[in-house]
Chains A and B, each alone.
Chain A
């Protein structure tokens, strides 16, 4: 059985579904559970066309518009939601952070994934899977709430301090009249990573 609990969720689920297709009766129960979870719209990873929904703050539950984010940070935490409004908060691995960094100083890949100067990443630290909910004013960077791993939003969430072994997975965005829309699936691995 695939171990889908903490990392590589999407790949893991694909393997689990492959396993279901290949397996005989005694094995079906396990992949079936994974597949049910994958079919649960609240637990599938962010999909193209999804909105990002504020997790907290005065606009909690509302879709994020780029001009609602403070220029220069901090990040906002969000969950993706499909166009019908179904919020994909069935797993914390879907936690997303969005930060309005502006258009200056972004590396090329980061600029391509940004919209209206906003970049988005997985909000789950690659060290121990804690929420990347904090902001360093000094470093202008996103900080994990457990052990302080610090990620540079302008440089593909590269690790600039702390124990995290990998950057955060990036989430490509586009803008429709200022409304932030998911333009593609996560680029990179979500959740805790080994060294």
Chain B
């Protein structure tokens, strides 16, 4: 500890000469061109680029000097609960959103505090996941989806509200936690609420005026394509397919790829049919929101295995040739290679389990449709165990892709299961409506397995695992950042650590014990020629709940200290 503190003060000295670029007049407007080709020194969107790589080409911090990484500034967010937003950086200004719908702006180099936006949430409001996964930038505005399902545009220089647009009615169970996706002057948002019987949608708002430009439901109404997959009348109205994570975008074909959530209620026999577009990736026209294609990972969803993460846009091998593709490790435990066709349709290429899964007996090699083992499919009045459990092989935390290595890095969990039995329940608007209560989750783990969380590396071309790091005393809820310095940065464990790995070998090269558990995605940026690594530390939401279950099951300490702090690191010279 003493050593670290010494390092910190030296680091502070080293950075003290940095000139803040944050003063109002210097703010650099964000344009379509910048979003399509973000400068390496900036982190303009939640996953760093439209392809969703969580990758930065910056290489000043690399495998040889990362051992000298020290904190150079930090700031308390002033709130508890789960911090899940990456620091977003535009030419020296950093924006971090927090639980309880707040946004903080700082000078990215010096940490000077610039402004805070604090949403006044409605009387009696609550959210199942009291978090935010980031802001979007365009022009001179910051776009922030709030928990009470409102999109707020803030002046990037002052934090003052430019406009607000109501997206949905929180009293009906809708809420918003994802970062927006900015496409050609429009701000695209999705909604959470799959545990409350909402009908998911993606909506686009004009960045200047806040007016709705289009809205596309992820469950078709009767008569629309796909509506035949809802065989029982009216189930589509409350069928879920929430849209609670940010989409990715292909400017070449003007196609937005967005992930959808579980079916609602959770037990598929209450809503017979395949239930499009639950647990799917939908391809939307960037101008109109029209659905151009889709891929459904599993039909008649019954495991709470959302397909919320949009796939990464990468080139993949198909029939011996390189083709535009989609790569995505899904919550259902499989890593998928898909082809993104020029007309927006999506074709199945291949898939491999990246954690043991006991539900799919096989997957059709042409269509990608799984053959489900009904013994492991829970239903109404029918208990069934399935592994991985409802938190999946990987929940929402981001994998990362390094284009130089053509490798993907997956934060995952295994050796855990659930045993669920459904009930028919009356829907009370705005209340939990899954068909099973939390005390009846029957979460279990294999105590002989030796590990639960892990970080895995796979080669994209052949699907072989390169390495993995196993966590014997923690789950892994840490989004991964890959960099041009051949490094990975990730937290995610209950010991409050922030780690740097050699991306090629999986060797841990550096770690830092922060204030709380880190479940927010790291980002990296450069100001005045100095590369920084930034991450918010603040445990809460599902990892904290799961930790209390593990306390009962295997004796882990249920108390992972909470409270948000944004940390910024640089190399001590």
Contacts and interface: CB of A to CB of B under 8 A. Distances in A.
Q: Do A and B come from one complex?
A: yes
Interface of A: 3-6, 9, 37, 43, 55-57, 77, 91-95, 124-125, 128-131, 133-139, 143-148, 150, 161-163, 191-192
A145 B438 contact: yes
Contact of A129 (B126, B426, B428, B548): B126
Given A134-B432, A134-B439, A163-B544, A129 B124 contact: yes
Given A148-B548, A163-B548, A131 B439 contact: no
21 contacts: A5-B120, A5-B125, A56-B428, A57-B426, A91-B123, A92-B126, A93-B123, A93-B124, A124-B126, A128-B126, A129-B125, A131-B126, A135-B437, A136-B439, A143-B439, A145-B432, A145-B437, A147-B545, A148-B545, A148-B548, A162-B548
A118 to B, nearest CB: 21
Nearest to B549: A148
Given A55-B428, A56-B428, A147-B545, A91 B437 contact: no
B125 A133 contact: no
Nearest to A191: B124
Interface in B334-359: none
Contacts of B438: 134, 143-145, 148
Nearest to B426: A56
Interface residues of B, number: 23
Contacts of B544: 147, 163
Contact of B120 (A3, A128, A137, A150): A3
Given A128-B130, A129-B124, A135-B437, 4 more contacts: A94-B124, A135-B439, A148-B438, A148-B439
Contacts of B120: 3, 5
Given A5-B122, A91-B124, A143 B437 contact: yes
B548 A161 contact: yes
B417 to A, nearest CB: 18
Interface of B: 81, 120-128, 130, 426, 428, 430-432, 437-439, 541, 544-545, 548
Contacts of A134: 432, 437-439
A100 B450 CA distance: 44
Contacts, number: 89
Nearest to A138: B439
B439 A124 contact: no
B466 to A, nearest CB: 36
> Which of B120, B123, B127, B432 gathers most chain A CB within 10 Å?
B123
Helix, strand, loop or mixed for chain A's interface?
Answer: loop
Contacts of A147: 541, 544-545, 548
A192 to B, nearest CB: 8
B121 A6 contact: yes
Contacts of A93: 123-124
B436 to A, nearest CB: 10
Nearest to B81: A128
Nearest to B434: A145
B304 to A, nearest CB: 15
B73 to A, nearest CB: 27
Contacts of A130: 126-128
A6 B123 CA distance: 6
A134 B128 CA distance: 14
Contacts of B428: 55-56, 77, 133
Contacts of A3: 120
A3 B126 CA distance: 16
A9 B124 CA distance: 9
> Most B CB atoms within 10 A — which of A125, A133, A147?
A147
B123 A9 contact: yes
Contacts of B548: 147-148, 161-163
Contacts of A95: 124
Nearest to A90: B123
Nearest to B432: A145
Which of the listed residues B126, B127, B432, B544 has the most CB atoms from chain A within 10 Å of its own CB?
B126
A56 B428 CA distance: 7
B439 A146 contact: no
A143 to B, nearest CB: 5
Given A143-B438, A148-B545, A5 B123 contact: yes
A146 B122 contact: no
A162 B558 CA distance: 9
A3 B120 CA distance: 8
Contacts of B127: 128, 130, 146
B125 A6 contact: yes
A66 B431 CA distance: 24
Which of A77, A131, A150 has most B Cβ within 10 Å? A131
Contacts of B124: 6, 91-95, 124, 129, 191
Nearest to A194: B80
Nearest to A4: B123
Name the residue among A4, A37, A133 with the largest chain B CB count within 10 angstroms.
A133
Contacts of B426: 56-57
